[in-house]
Structure 1
Amino acid sequence: MHGDFSRLTFQPGKHHTAVLSQQGRLRLDAEDNEQAAIQAYLARQLTTDLIGPYAGPAGDLGFAISRTDEGDHPDLTIGPGRYYVGGILCDATGPDGGGWTYLNQPDAVIDPDKQGLPDNGFLVYLRVRERVVSAIEDPDLHEKALGPSLPGTTLRLRVAWQVLVTGVETRDVKAGRAAFEDWAQQRHPHRGVAAFGVERPADADDDTCIVNPEAAYRGPENQLYRVEVHHGGAQGTATVKWSRDNGSAVYTIGELEGDWVTVTGSTDDKMLPEVEDWVEVIDDVVTSGDDPGPLLQVVDVDFGGRRVRLSGVPADDTGRDVARHPYLRRWDQRAPGRGGQALDGGAVPITENVWIPLEQGVQVKFGAGGTYRTGEYWTVAARTLDGDVEWPRVDGEPVLRPPAGPQEHLAPLAWFPPDGEMQDLRMQFEPISRSV
């Protein structure tokens, strides 16, 4: 989750059931967020234990799929109603009480020329994720009384469901669910693992700051570092970007004209990013898809006009449509000339089984044989008090752990074989009824 958090402390393995306040004590953002995470985790585990990995109520079973060939492109209708996937409630009911269509759904931008329905047999499935929403993406979250230039207050977690399609090779009309399970297993190969550590930089003796001279972490402030996969794949292809503030520094795009960007708002203390900063151009199309936004470098800043000039022009109209809530997200990786690593397209190439330095003594290591997906991330809190990072260790060695997120849940909805009738793959349960 991107956001200006002090720490992300929820760990299911600790089996905490509540956060308890004490009189006269401080209460931090991490504790409120952990309470929300505990409640969501318990509710979703209970739902999954009762109804299984996916199912909907018989009286309001949502996401009924049917095909329509009206219009310029074949389409699917998505019936209104509720469905639970991974214990998460998904509601397909639109503002008018009806449903949606494949080409016009709220959390997926579908290009019919690139993502149209396959000519042969295909599966229709539901993908469910949660994403953080700020006042940039939902202007209703902004309190106008605070003024237009102040940063946002709280964020929201939003369920983003997507009805998607994929081709299948099997022709057995009775094998729709089995075909889905096989495809889902192939979609999730071995995930990469990573660990964080600290090492006192070689030039630490030349540092005149007030940090403890023996500290490994040399930063002047407490930080929440985030390492996020930019381009997915295996070692040799995959790259990561990183942020010292959990990727929370974003800048609203008011206008994108050539390589100049007019900035109308910011969640950062600085109204504009600085020259040589790397920024990712993001909008609703990027957040709903599987590919990252373009990483570009700031090459000039016009403070009077609140504009920054980028090292290139985003392709495919990314960031140009104000209705799609475009913004820049700042990342903190640096090229070798500024103490960083050799970059590939603005991101750091993943090299496994070696420590990759980030900054101020913080470093990350990726385990061998991983497959990385765009958007997967790890976070670690760095603290000035002990000059260390908060990461689990066994016998003094940092533990390799899978990504903290994002979590993705899949459920089959329908199968359209090459010949024969559509097969409904949804599951349903009977809600408990009580007589008065």
Structure 2
Amino acid sequence: MHGDFSRRTHRPEDHYLAVVSQQGRVLLDAESNEQADLRLSADRSLAADLIGRHGGPGDGFKVAYRAESEGEKASLTIAAGRYYVDGIAVDATRPEAPPAVGAVEGPPPADAREGTGAGPWTYWDQPHAHRDLERDADELPSGPFLAYLRVHDRLVTAVQDPRLRETALGSALPDTTARVRADWQVLPLELAEEQQRDPAAAFAEWVAEQQDRTCRLAARAERPARAEDDPCLVAPDARYRGPENQLYRVEVHRGGVAGEATYKWSRENGSVVLPLTAVDGAWVTLEAMGRDDGLTVDVGDFVEVGDDASVGRGEVFDLPQVVEVDLPGRRVRLSAEPDPTVGRQPAHHPYLRRWDQLERRRRGAPGMEGGAVQLVEGQWLDLEDGVQIHFAPGGRYASGDHWSFAARTLTGAVEWPTDAVGRPLLERPAGVVHHYAPLAWVSGGEALDLRRVFTQLTA
């Protein structure tokens, strides 16, 4: 999650039950967040133990197929209700439009929920997928396919939901807490002809492949040249040299294997995010320039321009550089125009996110591609101020895979798990963690229900 956190302390392997406050002590964001993580983990574990991998009551997420007709693409209808995937409660309920409260003179006010209601979602208007009717790539398969549900947690800040802002605070970007939301998408999966005899089994194999995260990363403080020969050991005098405490985030930008994949990194956990209000060629207008000089953008920064729709579709674009800043106009000029599909609709909450990688011209440093760093395995790579990372050989990387770790000025340490002799351990990515459930096998215009349905205890 790209939040402005001091660090993340929840480690499921520790089996803690609760965070307990002590009198006269400082309460940090990390402890409050760990308590939220513990509660969420306990609730989801209980639900998964009782329900299994997936299941739900009633017609929630029941899928029906609607064939292509004149002027309309083929679609799916997704029934309102609730379904559980790995213990995560996923809600597809559509809000009802509020009833009228009395006569109003003149034109009535616009209803923000007009056109909704309790009816089902469709493949094209499901809330977090942001499908595009104009895109041929978004068409459903013409042959048999399996419709499945994909779920993941997403951090929602005031950039994505302006209602979270408390404008009474008076700052340019009033921002307090964030929220965690379970985003869901119903997607199609085409199977080979031999797999179509048992779609559920084929889907289980596909899910296992998706969740087999083969990539690993380790982090450490830089080892002085005179240290012992073992490159895996952290020398006693290795030290983080940065001026401030930071929470670093290393994130895969483009997926693939080494030689194809690229990564980006941030010393602020990727939390420097500024809402966009307009895009005019290479110029983008920001709602505000950031809270202070360290949490804004400047010439030379690589930035990501995106919105809810591009995130929902899983699109990856090149990262342009900031080449000019117009402070009075709250505008920045980028080295390339953003993708034409991004940032044009305010309802999709367009944003600009800063990343902190820099182009290094010294010999042996990884090159850059599309504003991200080319991923090199099997050697320690410099970030900045003595922070180094190491990708294990043989990894397969997916866009969004990420790792985060704290660096502290008092100890000069990069906080990363080590073994008994001080060697940094190779860790799987912390996310993005996707959860999957089969919903229907669509063939011959019919949808065979693959959900697992249970009745309520009081039914």
The residue aligned with 2:246 is 223
- Is 1:240 the equivalent of 2:263? yes
In structure 1, what residue type is equivalent to 2:331? R
Distance 1:190 1:303 in 2: 43
Q: What's the counterpart of residue 426 of structure 2?
A: 400
Please give the alpha-carbon distance, in whole angstroms, between the structure 2 residues aligned to 1:390 and 1:154: 25
Contact 2:290–2:296 (CA under 8 A) maintained in structure 1: no
**Aligned residue in 1 for 2:354:** 330
**Alpha-carbon distance change, 72 to 61 in structure 1, aligned in 2, over 3 angstroms:** closer
- Pairing partner for 1:67 from 65, 68, 77: 65
Shift of 1:250: 1.1
**Aligned mates of 2:412, 2:446 — CA distance in 1:** 64
CA separation of 1:356 and 1:266: change in aligned 2, threshold 3 A: same
Taking the TM superposition and a 5 Å limit, the aligned residue runs for 1:8-19 are 8-19=8-19
| 1:260 has 2:286 as partner | no
Pick one of 162, 166, 169 that aligns with 2:189.
Answer: 166
CA contact (8 A) 2:131 2:313 kept: no
Query: Relative to 1, partners in 2 of residues 1:179 and 1:153: Cα closer, same or farther, differing over 3 Å?
Result: same
Code of the residue aligned with 2:457 in structure 1: it is I
Distance in 1 between the 2:327 and 2:18 partners?
A: 47
Deviation per residue, 1:5-27 (Å, 9 max, x gap):
00100000000000000111110
Q: For the residues of structure 2 that align with 1:405 and 1:392, how far apart are their CA atoms?
A: 17
How far apart are the structure 2 equivalents of 1:171 and 1:129? 30
Q: How does 1:166-315 map to 2 (within 5 A)?
A: 166-170=189-193, 175-199=198-222, 216-270=239-293, 272-315=296-339
Give CA deviations for 1:386-405 in whole Å, capped at 9, x if unaligned: 11111111121100000011
Q: CA deviation at 1:72?
A: 1.3
Query: Structure 2 unaligned runs (5+)?
Result: 96-116, 226-236
Structure 2 Cα separation of the partners of residues 47 and 226 of structure 1: 31
Q: 1:167 to 1:386 in 2, by over 3 A?
A: same
CA positional deviation for 1:420? 7.7
Instruction: Name the CA distance, whole Å, in 2 between partners of 1:75 and 1:221.
Output: 52
Distance in 1, matches of 2:429 and 2:204, equals: 23
Runs (5+) with no aligned partner, structure 1: 203-213
2:120 to 81, 84, 99: 99
Q: How many Å apart are 1:368 and its aligned residue?
A: 1.3
**8 A contact 1:227–1:379 mirrored in 2:** yes
State the partner residue of 2:229.
Answer: none
Give the secondary structure class of the aligned counterpart of 2:383: strand
The reply on whether 1:431 has 2:456 as its aligned counterpart is yes
Task: Indicate which of 126, 130, 140 corresponds to 1:109.
Answer: 130
Contact 2:213/2:429 (8 A) holds in 1? no
Aligned to 1:376: 401
CA change 1:177–1:11 in 2 (3 A) is same
Residues 54-80 of structure 1, C-alpha deviations (whole Å, 9 max, x = no match): 0002xx330111111355111111001
1:340-382 Cα offsets, whole Å, 9 max, x none, are 7521111111111100100000010011111111011000000
Q: Which segment drifts farther, 387-396 or 168-177?
A: 168-177
Over the residues paired in the alignment, what is the CA RMSD in angstroms? 2.1
Secondary structure of the equivalent of 1:422? strand
Structure 1 match to 2:102:
none
Q: Report the equivalent of 1:208.
A: none
Task: Pick closer, same or farther for the CA change 1:123–1:338 going to 2, 3 Å.
Answer: same
3-state DSSP of counterpart to 1:301: strand
The offset of 1:338, in angstroms, is 9.3
Q: Contact 1:121/1:169 (CA < 8 Å) preserved in 2?
A: no
Counterparts of 2:309 and 2:362, CA distance in 1: 33
Q: Is the 8 A contact 1:272 1:308 kept in 2?
A: no
Give the whole-Å Cα distance in 1 for the aligned partners of 2:278 and 2:370: 24
Moved more, 28-37 or 39-48: 39-48
- Partner residue in 2 for 1:342: 367
- Cα shift readout 1:191-213 (whole Å, capped 9, x = no counterpart): 201010111578xxxxxxxxxxx
Q: 1:424 offset after TM fit, Å?
A: 0.7
Q: Distance in 2 between matches of 1:338 and 1:9?
A: 36
Residue 170 and residue 185 in structure 1: after superposition, are their counterparts in 2 closer, same or farther (change >3 A)?
farther
1:362 to 387, 390, 396: 387
Secondary structure of the residue that 1:285 maps to in structure 2?
Answer: helix
Cα contact 1:215–1:386 (8 A) shared by 2: no
The 8 Å contact of residues 439 and 449 in structure 2, kept in 1 or not, is answered as yes
